[in-house]
């Protein structure tokens, strides 16, 4: 099959719509269930490249949670510690530790659960039964993977009243070196971005502190590959084998950093005992629990959640307030976080902001006329900063 007809394009008025191979060859994918749309396929093909490259670069299986052509989360298949399992709502999944691909998706989905609502999922390896059971409970549009076990396929086909989008990708497919797209009737052509991100990129450490542990180098690689498939401008915070905050598509880099830092802070705060001990009513579903946790952690909206009479809609017992001072004290103990940027940092304010979110490792292309000031700021905080010399814009 070299063509697949779509219901419409980005919007319902954009018809007709299809995906096809211009050279007449067969599509490198197969739709096993559902009817994916235009944006679904954009997410599927971008997210597949991301997880494939993370696996190639790290040797770990990988998963991504995509929304609107940017990742909300990406991770490798490391076993989740107990607090992260609870924070990601997977502490009741039997056999989770035995499935690296399920662990990878649990981490990717748990990075930014609000943004991942209705996500597109990419897996680097076969979707097994345990991964399918994790996915079955989440609100999601579809999935792309190179293979599915029989039981996993049965479980996934039961989602969305049988209409869940399931795509199988040919893992051996390599696209042409040249890629083209049209904007306003004008055809753009460029070489495909097949730049390889690996540990060799991380040898130019420009700070006084040059101690880059193996696990932090892996975090840098994960963050850089995540940025390679994130709408620019973009920065990514990473920790323990996963992206924990992605700031995508901002016109100013400091706004990217602030956005990603706020997401990383939420990821850390959700693992606090204050949050993990919230006594939810059994009637409160997973999406509502997630939204209430975000409100509880918000300086502005937490008062609304805890207002007299209101908390009873969600909790069996009234939670204690989580004050700004308590949150700041908790976050002050966070360290070892990695920050990556798809282009150079033009000002040191990005480093100052990152330091408040526990960043100790930074990777970026370098090349700013203010590199010396950025390096000086990193040295002030005892950070390790590597220059890659390669920009990773994605549009």
pLDDT for 47-63, tens place per residue?
Answer: 999 999 999 999 999 99
Percentages of the chain per state (helix, strand, coil), in multiples of 5:
40, 20, 40
Tell me which residue range forms the domain holding 305: 273-321
Q: Is residue 248 part of a domain?
A: yes
Catalytically annotated residues:
67-68, 233, 395
Q: What is the pLDDT of residue 316?
A: 93
Q: Is residue 182 part of a domain?
A: no
Say how many C-beta atoms besides its own lie within 10 A of residue 344's C-beta.
18
pLDDT band for position 195 (cuts 50, 70, 90)? very high
CATH number of the CATH domain containing 220: 3.40.140.20
Specify whether 77 is located in the same domain as 139: yes
| Cα–Cα dist 86/317, whole Å | 19
Q: Which of 78, 129, 125, 128 is nearest to 106 (CA)?
A: 78
Specify whether 123 is located in the same domain as 48: yes
| Cα–Cα dist 353/359, whole Å | 9
Q: Is residue 168 part of a domain?
A: yes
| Cα–Cα dist 21/35, whole Å | 18
Q: What is the pLDDT of residue 257?
A: 97
Q: Which of 336, 341, 378 is nearest to 236 (CA)?
A: 341
Q: What is the pLDDT of residue 301?
A: 66
The answer to whether residue 309 scores a pLDDT higher than 80 is no
Q: Which residue has the tokens 């002050």?
A: 332
Say if residues 125 and 61 touch (Cβ distance below 8 Å).
Answer: yes
Which residues lie closer than 8 Å to 258 by C-beta, 6 or more apart?
247, 353
Q: What is the pLDDT of residues 204-243, one digit of tens each?
A: 999 999 999 999 999 999 999 999 999 999 999 999 999 9
Q: What is the pLDDT of residue 306?
A: 78
Specify whether 147 is located in the same domain as 294: no
Give, to the nearest 10 degrees, the angle between helix 253-269 and helix 100-111. 120
Specify whether 44 is located in the same domain as 147: yes
Say if residues 156 and 166 touch (Cβ distance below 8 Å).
Answer: yes
Specify whether 87 is located in the same domain as 60: yes
User: Of all residues in the chain, what percent carry a pLDDT higher than 90?
Assistant: 91
Q: Is residue 65 part of a domain?
A: yes
Q: What is the pLDDT of residue 310?
A: 81
Q: Which of 105, 139, 174 is the last residue of a domain?
A: 174
Specify whether 62 is located in the same domain as 139: yes
Residues belonging to the chain: 395
The answer to whether residue 302 scores a pLDDT higher than 90 is no
Specify whether 15 is located in the same domain as 120: yes
pTM for the model stands at 0.96
Say if residues 253 and 352 touch (Cβ distance below 8 Å).
Answer: no
Specify whether 153 is located in the same domain as 213: no
Q: What is the pLDDT of residue 380?
A: 98
| Cα–Cα dist 233/48, whole Å | 21
For the chain, what is the mean pLDDT? 95
Q: Is residue 288 part of a domain?
A: yes
The answer to whether residue 395 scores a pLDDT higher than 70 is yes
| Cα–Cα dist 336/290, whole Å | 26
Q: What is the pLDDT of residues 97-153, one digit of tens each?
A: 999 999 999 999 999 999 999 999 999 999 999 999 999 999 999 999 999 999 999
How many domains, in total, are found in the chain? 3
Q: Is residue 185 part of a domain?
A: no
Count Cα atoms within 13 angstroms, Cβ side, for 262: 13
pLDDT band for position 37 (cuts 50, 70, 90)? very high
Give, to the nearest 10 degrees, the angle between helix 129-136 and helix 150-157. 10
- What integer is the mean pLDDT of 27-40? 96
Q: Which of 174, 204, 227 is the last residue of a domain?
A: 174
Q: Is residue 277 part of a domain?
A: yes
> CA dist 47 to 54, 73, 79, 108, Å?
11, 10, 22, 12
Q: What is the pLDDT of residue 1?
A: 78
Specify whether 310 is located in the same domain as 219: no
The answer to whether residue 15 scores a pLDDT higher than 80 is yes
Of 389 and 2, the structure prediction assigns the larger pLDDT to: 389
Specify whether 214 is located in the same domain as 355: yes
Q: In which region does residue 58 sit, left (phi positive, over 0), alpha (psi from -120 to 50) or beta (all else)?
A: alpha
Q: What is the pLDDT of residues 246-263, one digit of tens each?
A: 999 999 999 999 999 999
Specify whether 206 is located in the same domain as 310: no
Q: What is the pLDDT of residue 300?
A: 62
The answer to whether residue 379 scores a pLDDT higher than 80 is yes
Q: Which of 116, 141, 174 is the last residue of a domain?
A: 174
Q: Which of 380, 383, 344, 391 is nearest to 362 (CA)?
A: 383
Say if residues 294 and 330 touch (Cβ distance below 8 Å).
Answer: no
The answer to whether residue 392 scores a pLDDT higher than 80 is yes
Specify whether 21 is located in the same domain as 76: yes
């Amino acid at each position: 099959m070299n063509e697949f007809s779509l219901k419409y394009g980005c919007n319902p008025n954009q018809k007709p719509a299809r995906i096809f191979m211009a050279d007449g060859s067969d599509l490198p994918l197969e739709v096993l269930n559902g009817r994916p749309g235009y944006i679904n396929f954009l997410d599927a093909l971008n997210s597949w490249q991301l997880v494939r490259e993370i696996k190639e670069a790290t040797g770990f299986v990988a998963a991504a949670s995509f929304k609107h052509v940017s990742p909300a989360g990406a991770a490798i298949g490391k076993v989740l510690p107990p607090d992260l399992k609870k924070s990601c709502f997977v502490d009741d999944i039997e056999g989770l530790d035995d499935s690296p691909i399920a662990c990878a998706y649990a981490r990717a989905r748990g990075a930014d659960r609000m943004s991942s609502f209705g996500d597109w999922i990419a897996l680097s390896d076969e979707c097994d039964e345990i991964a399918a059971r994790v996915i079955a409970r989440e609100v999601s549009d579809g999935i792309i993977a190179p293979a599915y076990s029989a039981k996993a396929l049965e479980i996934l086909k039961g989602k969305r009243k049988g209409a869940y989008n399931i795509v199988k990708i040919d893992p051996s497919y390599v696209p042409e070196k040249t890629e083209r797209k049209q904007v306003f009737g004008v055809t753009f052509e460029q070489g495909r971005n097949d730049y390889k991100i690996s540990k060799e990129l991380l040898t130019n450490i420009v700070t006084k502190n040059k101690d880059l542990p193996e696990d932090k180098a892996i975090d840098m690689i994960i963050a850089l590959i995540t940025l390679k498939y994130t709408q620019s401008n973009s920065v990514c915070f990473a920790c323990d084998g996963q992206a924990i905050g992605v700031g995508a598509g901002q016109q100013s880099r400091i706004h990217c950093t602030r956005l990603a830092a706020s997401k990383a802070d939420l990821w850390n705060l959700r693992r606090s005992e204050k949050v993990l001990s919230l006594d939810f009513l059994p009637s409160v579903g997973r999406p509502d629990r997630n939204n209430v946790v975000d409100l509880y952690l918000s300086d502005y909206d937490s008062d609304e959640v805890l207002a007299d009479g209101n908390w009873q809609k969600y909790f069996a017992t009234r939670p204690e307030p989580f004050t700004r001072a308590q949150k700041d004290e908790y976050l002050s103990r966070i360290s070892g976080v990695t920050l990556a940027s798809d282009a150079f940092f033009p000002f040191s304010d990005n480093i100052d902001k990152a330091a408040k979110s526990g960043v100790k490792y930074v990777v970026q292309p370098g090349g700013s006329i203010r590199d010396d000031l950025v390096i000086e700021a990193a040295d002030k905080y005892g950070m390790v900063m590597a220059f890659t010399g390669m920009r990773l814009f994605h549009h």
